[in-house]
């Protein structure tokens, strides 16, 4: 068992990356970090404000710079990425080069959309269902490049998924 293995969670908005990450870190008795939280802390702005004011391309650059910094500076063993982080080629390369194990949390679009609708988090790229479905379909071919893959079924809690990940990678 590689107790020091670092995990990053990817997957579409609303799939539950943050809550699975929280439970996984609790099970591992380890630290976790949400890239979105890290960006907002460092940039002192909400992500929605950055995207709405500076545009998505500028946001992706900020996101990549923060990912770089996080992987160098932060000891967290579990990292929850933003839904678009893994889509950028250089981010995937960086994550691999740092030796992290990437895990794609997959669910149906309707499951993600339900969570998006009922969450307090503002998601500028999912303000309408049509654009969100398009992104969801476009991104599958890149999410599936992750090292691992777990399908989130409605009957699973975030803890159940975290336990499955733990059993497979640390058990």
* x/- letters, 53..92, toward ligand S3P (CB under 6 A): -----------------------------xxx--------
47 binds ligand S3P (CB under 6 A): yes
Q: Which of 91, 134, 95, 109 is nearest to 8 (CA)?
A: 95
Q: How far is CA 30 from CA 7, 25, 26, 131, in A?
A: 11, 5, 6, 36
Spatial separation of the C-alpha atoms in residues 9 and 68, rounded to whole Å: 16
Q: Which is nearer to ligand S3P, 124 or 148 (CB)?
A: 124
Judged by CB under 6 A, the stretch of 71-79, 95-103, 121-129, 140-148 that binds ligand S3P is: 121-129
Place of tokens 């943050």: 18
Which two tokens mark 44?
């002192």
Spatial separation of the C-alpha atoms in residues 162 and 23, rounded to whole Å: 6
125 binds ligand S3P (CB under 6 A): yes
**In the complex, least distance from residue 85 CB atom to ligand S3P, rounded to whole angstroms:** 7
Binding residue (CB under 6 A) for ligand S3P from 7, 8, 9, 13: 13
For residue 149, the 8-state DSSP code is: E
The contact set with ligand S3P (CB under 6 A) reads 13, 17, 36, 47, 82-84, 123-125
């Amino acid at each position: 068992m590689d107790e020091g293995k670092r995990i990053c969670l990817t997957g579409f908005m609303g799939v539950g990356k943050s809550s699975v990450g929280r439970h996984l870190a609790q099970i591992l008795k380890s630290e976790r970090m949400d890239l979105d939280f890290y960006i907002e802390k460092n940039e002192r702005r909400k992500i929605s404000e950055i995207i709405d004011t500076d545009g998505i391309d500028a946001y992706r650059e900020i996101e990549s710079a923060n990912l770089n910094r996080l992987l160098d500076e932060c000891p967290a063993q579990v990292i929850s990425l933003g839904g678009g982080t893994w889509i950028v080629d250089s981010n995937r390369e960086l994550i691999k080069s740092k030796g992290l194990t990437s895990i794609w949390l997959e669910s149906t679009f309707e499951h993600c959309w339900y969570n998006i609708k009922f969450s307090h988090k503002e998601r500028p790229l999912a303000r309408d269902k049509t654009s969100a479905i398009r992104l969801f379909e476009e991104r599958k071919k890149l999410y599936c490049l992750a090292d691992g893959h777990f399908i989130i079924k409605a009957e699973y809690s975030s803890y159940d998924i975290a336990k499955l990940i733990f059993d497979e990678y640390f058990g």
